């Protein structure tokens, strides 16, 4: 059954509000609470302020505000197109895009922060002069609510500005490391083979070559890898590429590896040196070459014969050693190459030695007579030994004796008596590398034969 909480009655022209007992007690309690809340109002405010101050004191004791320095904070450059649209490029001076800052904030926040937790922005749109970019913003990427101030040591990034230049360079290749024994580098190809480079004109114009290098140590199969190009000036010094832009920073390189083999050389000589000189041998530098190619192709090559007439060493009339450089590349099969390109040119030296002479006595009894007419008789005018002069290299003629010499006189043209000067035919044993020098004659007396037993 619903009942009213209160009702009013008129009594002597007055309105009296009548409450139920339960509602009266509630209203009475509310009045007491209001009195408690509003009683000593000033003291309560003072207590609240004291509590806040006390909390701040405690917080500052436990987690005080401190300053901490951070180095190597990277500065990001915005709106680079401001310079690029003018056909110019810039370069950072003195590493000024890395700055130091001092940060003011709570100890708990600073203790866990590092340089990479801060972002610094420099904006080219804010430049007043072309060589200085103002740093417009520095912020923290974390604990930002506990940081009250960030103070940079420097306010700007210093740059140098100059004209831009673009050039294209053919990419050259090289290898590094030590190959496995028995292998050599074959063809090296790269893609792309040309690199487009853009940067400060003063830097681009210094570039003499662009090179990629491939490591070949401990490898026996074809190598395929990506390599980063390096830039070199005319002195062979590396040019820093940080300020350069190029079409790609990864060059695909393929290196073929070939088997190798060492082979000897044989060179041809032609002509005859001066009479007093003799050809001894030819020496080569290098005396062997190392070739590379398919293993089956190499098996067919044991030496390389350099036998074209135009490459032969000409000894005609020579009185001293002869040197000649011969290019041997045309003698290699098309599928075979030199491991070391410097071995293509061989220095050939033809060695000549001056001949010496030696006199050898030979008894006339050792001279063979032939074709003497039966009507004639032959006698020597004297019994002196003949002197035979031999010429050749000292080491060869030193071993020659009279036993190595064959002497003879042909008398077929002798038909009259009298004293005759007759030539003696002389020869050396075939295995001796020497020659008879000059002519030898003897005096002989030819008479009519009195007997049938003439000397033959």
Contacts of 263 (CB under 8 A, 6+ apart): 288, 289, 290, 291, 301, 302, 303, 304
Predicted pLDDT at 54 = 63
pLDDT band at 427 (very low <50, low <70, confident <90, very high): very high
Q: Pairing state of beta strands 313-314 and 269-270? A: parallel
Provide mean pLDDT across the span 56-77: 81
The answer to whether residues 77 and 161 touch, using CB atoms and an 8 Å cutoff, is no
Q: Give the other-Cβ count within 10 Å of 232's Cβ.
A: 16
Query: Is pLDDT at 31 greater than 70 in this prediction?
Result: no
Long-range contacts of 28-31 (CB under 8 A, 24+ apart): none
pLDDT band at 51 (very low <50, low <70, confident <90, very high): low
Distance of CA 121 to the CA centre of its chain: 41
Query: Is pLDDT at 364 greater than 90 in this prediction?
Result: yes
pLDDT band at 455 (very low <50, low <70, confident <90, very high): very low
Q: What does the alpha-carbon distance between residue 231 and residue 4 come to, in Å, rounded to a whole number?
A: 99
Predicted pLDDT at 3 = 44
pLDDT in tens, 174-222: 999 988 999 998 889 999 999 999 988 989 999 999 999 999 998 888 8
- Tell me the two tokens of residue 149: 């101030």
Q: Cis check for the bond before 286: say yes or no (omega within 30 of 0).
A: yes
pLDDT band at 2 (very low <50, low <70, confident <90, very high): very low
Predicted pLDDT at 1 = 37
Q: What percent of the chain has pLDDT over 70?
A: 86
> For residue 212, which of 224, 200, 198 has the smallest C-alpha distance?
224
The answer to whether residues 227 and 253 touch, using CB atoms and an 8 Å cutoff, is yes
Burial 318-334 (b: 16+ CB within 10 A, else e): beeebebebebeeebee
The owner of tokens 């203790």 is: 111
Predicted pLDDT at 97 = 93
Cα–Cα–Cα angle for 415, 417, 418, nearest 5°?
130
Q: Cis check for the bond before 54: say yes or no (omega within 30 of 0).
A: no
pLDDT band at 55 (very low <50, low <70, confident <90, very high): low
| Arithmetic mean of pLDDT over the chain | 86
Predicted pLDDT at 418 = 93
Query: Is pLDDT at 41 greater than 70 in this prediction?
Result: no
Contacts of 57 (CB under 8 A, 6+ apart): none
Q: What does the alpha-carbon distance between residue 263 and residue 304 come to, in Å, rounded to a whole number?
A: 7
pLDDT band at 431 (very low <50, low <70, confident <90, very high): confident
Segment holding 51, helix H or strand E? helix 41-62
Query: Is pLDDT at 8 greater than 50 in this prediction?
Result: yes
Provide mean pLDDT across the span 347-361: 94
Mean pLDDT is lowest, of 26-40, 208-222, 263-277, 407-421, for 26-40
334 DSSP assignment: T
Predicted pLDDT at 351 = 94
pLDDT in tens, 231-240: 999 999 999 8
Mean pLDDT is lowest, of 43-57, 219-233, 396-410, for 43-57
Predicted pLDDT at 269 = 92
Predicted pLDDT at 248 = 87
Predicted pLDDT at 128 = 87
Element counts in the chain: helices (H) and strands (E): 7, 33
pLDDT band at 130 (very low <50, low <70, confident <90, very high): confident
Q: What does the alpha-carbon distance between residue 411 and residue 51 come to, in Å, rounded to a whole number?
A: 155
Predicted pLDDT at 60 = 56
Contacts of 270 (CB under 8 A, 6+ apart): 309, 312, 313, 314, 315, 316
pLDDT in tens, 241-250: 877 888 888 9
The owner of tokens 């004191």 is: 57
Provide mean pLDDT across the span 59-88: 86
Predicted pLDDT at 454 = 43
Predicted pLDDT at 74 = 94
The answer to whether residues 131 and 157 touch, using CB atoms and an 8 Å cutoff, is no
- Tell me the two tokens of residue 374: 């039966």
Query: Is pLDDT at 401 greater than 80 in this prediction?
Result: yes
pLDDT band at 129 (very low <50, low <70, confident <90, very high): confident
């Amino acid at each position: 059954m619903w009942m009213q909480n209160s009702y009013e009655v008129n009594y002597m022209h007055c309105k009296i509000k009548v409450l139920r007992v339960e509602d009266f007690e509630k209203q009475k309690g509310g009045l007491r609470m209001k009195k408690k809340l509003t009683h000593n109002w000033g003291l309560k405010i003072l207590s609240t302020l004291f509590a806040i101050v006390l909390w701040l004191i405690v917080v500052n004791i436990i987690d005080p505000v401190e300053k901490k320095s951070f180095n190597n904070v990277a500065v990001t450059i915005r709106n680079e197109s401001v310079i690029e649209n003018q056909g110019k490029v810039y370069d950072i001076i003195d590493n000024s895009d890395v700055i130091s800052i001092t940060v003011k904030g709570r100890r708990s926040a600073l203790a866990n922060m590092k340089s990479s937790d801060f972002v610094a922005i420099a904006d080219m749109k804010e430049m007043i002069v072309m060589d200085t970019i103002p740093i417009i913003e520095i912020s923290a990427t974390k604990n930002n609510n506990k940081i009250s101030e960030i103070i940079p040591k420097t306010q700007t990034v210093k740059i140098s500005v100059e004209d831009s230049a673009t050039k294209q360079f053919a990419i050259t290749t090289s290898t590094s490391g030590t190959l496995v024994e028995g292998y050599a580098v074959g063809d090296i190809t790269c893609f792309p083979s040309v690199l487009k480079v853009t940067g400060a004109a003063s830097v681009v114009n210094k570039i003499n070559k662009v090179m990629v290098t491939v490591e070949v140590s401990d490898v026996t199969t074809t190598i395929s890898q990506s390599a980063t190009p390096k830039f070199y000036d005319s002195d062979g010094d590396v040019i820093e590429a940080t300020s350069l832009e190029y079409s790609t920073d990864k060059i695909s390189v393929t290196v073929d590896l070939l088997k190798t083999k060492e082979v000897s050389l044989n060179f041809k000589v032609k002509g005859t040196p001066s009479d007093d000189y003799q050809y001894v041998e030819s020496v080569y530098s290098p005396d062997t070459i190392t070739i590379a190619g398919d293993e089956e192709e190499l098996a067919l090559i044991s030496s390389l014969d350099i036998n074209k007439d135009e490459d032969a060493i000409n000894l005609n009339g020579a009185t001293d050693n002869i040197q000649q450089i011969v290019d041997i590349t045309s003698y290699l099969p098309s599928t075979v190459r030199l491991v070391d390109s410097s071995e293509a040119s061989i220095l050939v030296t033809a060695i000549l030695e001056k001949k010496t002479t030696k006199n050898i006595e030979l008894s006339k009894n050792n001279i063979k007579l032939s074709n003497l007419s039966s009507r004639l008789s032959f006698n020597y005018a004297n019994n002196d030994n003949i002197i035979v002069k031999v010429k050749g290299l000292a080491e060869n003629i030193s071993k020659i004796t009279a036993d190595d010499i064959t002497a003879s006189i042909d008398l077929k043209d002798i038909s009259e008596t009298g004293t005759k000067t007759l030539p003696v035919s002389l020869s050396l044993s075939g295995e001796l590398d020497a020659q008879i020098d000059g002519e030898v004659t003897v005096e002989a007396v030819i008479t009519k034969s009195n007997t049938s037993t003439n000397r033959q």
